[in-house]
Structure 1
Amino acid sequence: MGNFEENDEASRARKLAKRRKTNLILNSLITIVLLLIVFVTVKIFFGDGQSEAEKSDSVVVDKQLANEKADGDSGNEDEEEEVEEEKQDASDLEEESESADEELEEESEPTITEGGSSPDVKQTIVNPDWKPVGTTQTGEHQAVYDESSVDWQEMLKAISYATGIDGGNMTVWFLGNNGGPQSAQGTVSDKAGGPKYRVAIDWVDGEGWKPVKVEELK
């Protein structure tokens, strides 16, 4: 009798333990299902919002990149335009320089003839393109043959212009009147050596002394 009761209690204990195990498994499964439901719900509501925000951020970034690209293209176009303008300016300057050189070449073709106004003249040089050398003098002009005068210095400037001899390297053998109140004549040479030149110059009102004729002496 006692054994039967012990077996019955053991059987009920096993059933109770099995039931507890079953309940634990069921409760675990229910918890897992609830967690899955919560996760899916959060994903649906909050995940879409985050996705929209990311899309919005992506659109903003794309616009910024597009604007930066447009600015970069515009900057490149400006740089290309500046380069083209610089090339054009350089081309214009080169053309102007060539034109100026041509004009100088045309002006540097004087007429040269053998002999001159006296037997001691080897050849005579005349250039119709010679211009007055300018002046700082005002009012009525009168030739002044004084080495300390402005007029004297401007005469030597005209003679240097006609002969190509630098004023600092010029020896003046003679500078005086040439037969008229506004006409002068000078005989000069280069200090380093070379031929003597006799240069006739005329005064042009408001413009200074102008070379008229250069004679290279024997």
Structure 2
Amino acid sequence: MQGFRYEQRKKKRINRVLNVAISIVTILILFFAYQIFFGTTTSEVMTEEMTDEEETDFASEEKTIESEQEEVDTSETSESEIEPAVEDEDAIDNEETEEPASDGEWQPIGTEQAEFTPGFTEGSLNRLEMEQAVRYATGISQDNMILWRIENGGAPTRARGVISEKATPDLAYEVYIEWVDGQGWMPVEKNELEFNPYR
């Protein structure tokens, strides 16, 4: 769910640009359809009397539409190169490999908790979101992880998790996460342990 809200804002901005471009094209189509079906004689006269200035305006309008479309295409390409689109939360959990954010550049993972309830009960929503935040910091997928420990990190809004990949259980990571109100758990520190104390 990394960058989910940020991705939504980007999509809304792109949709606005596309809607403007589509509206302009629709107006032009309706204008020409009207001329063809209802104004054959009028359109002939208008075509003959069209000045160079009007032709220039029409050409510049077409260029504006093309440039807007190119901007949308460019922004969509650059966004897809920066980070993959996340269609739903299950997609994150089921990916074979999760791309970790650079250390120290983590964002809150988001939350479905209406009101934050601290606790470590297995299967609880808070516990599942803590596990997701730990995976996000390390880039280890849910199918490929061993969560050795998740515990209080010194405050009700801070936790510590120890995680490793199944193939390399001795190579464990210690991840500290903190609760951000309304935004969910956010990794704040990741350390590679010299040995796995829980093996």
Q: TM-score, normalised by structure 2?
A: 0.52
Q: In the alignment, which residue of structure 1 is the partner of 2:132?
A: 157
- 1:211 is matched with 187
Q: How far does the alpha carbon of each residue in 1:13-43 deviate from its partner, in whole angstroms, 9 at most, with x for none? A: xxxxxxxxxxxxxxxxxxxxxxxxxxxxxxx
The C-alpha deviation readout for 1:42-65, integer Å capped at 9, x for no partner, is: xxxxxxxxxxxxxxxxxxxxxx99
Deviations 1:187-213 (Å, cap 9, x if unpaired)? Answer: 001123372110000111111101010
Residue correspondence of structure 1 range 92-107 to structure 2 within 5 A: 92-95=72-75, 97-98=77-78
Partner of 2:14: none
Pick from 197, 201, 217 the counterpart of residue 173 of structure 2: 197
* Aligned 1:41-190 pairs, distance under 5 A: 85-86=65-66, 88-95=68-75, 97-98=77-78, 110=102, 126-127=103-104, 129-139=105-115, 141-190=116-165
Superposed structure 1 runs of 4+ greater than 4 Å apart: 64-68, 80-84, 99-104
Q: CA deviation at 1:93?
A: 3.3
Secondary structure in 1 matching 2:129: helix
The 3 A distance-change label for structure 1 pair 84 and 160 is: same
Tell me the distance in 1 between the aligned counterparts of 2:155 and 2:186.
14
Contact 1:165 1:190 in 2 (8 A): yes
Letter in 1 for 2:70: A
Bigger relative contact order, structure 1 or 2 (CA pairs below 8 A, ≥6 apart): 2
Show structure 2 runs of 5+ residues with no match: 1-42, 48-57, 85-99, 195-199
Aligned length: 136
* Cα distance in structure 1, aligned partners of 2:129 and 2:83: 25
Larger C-alpha radius of gyration, 1 or 2? 1
Render the CA deviation track for 1:148-193: whole Å, top value 9, x for unaligned: 1001110011111111111222110101111111110000011233
Cα separation, 1, equivalents of 2:122 and 2:189: 22
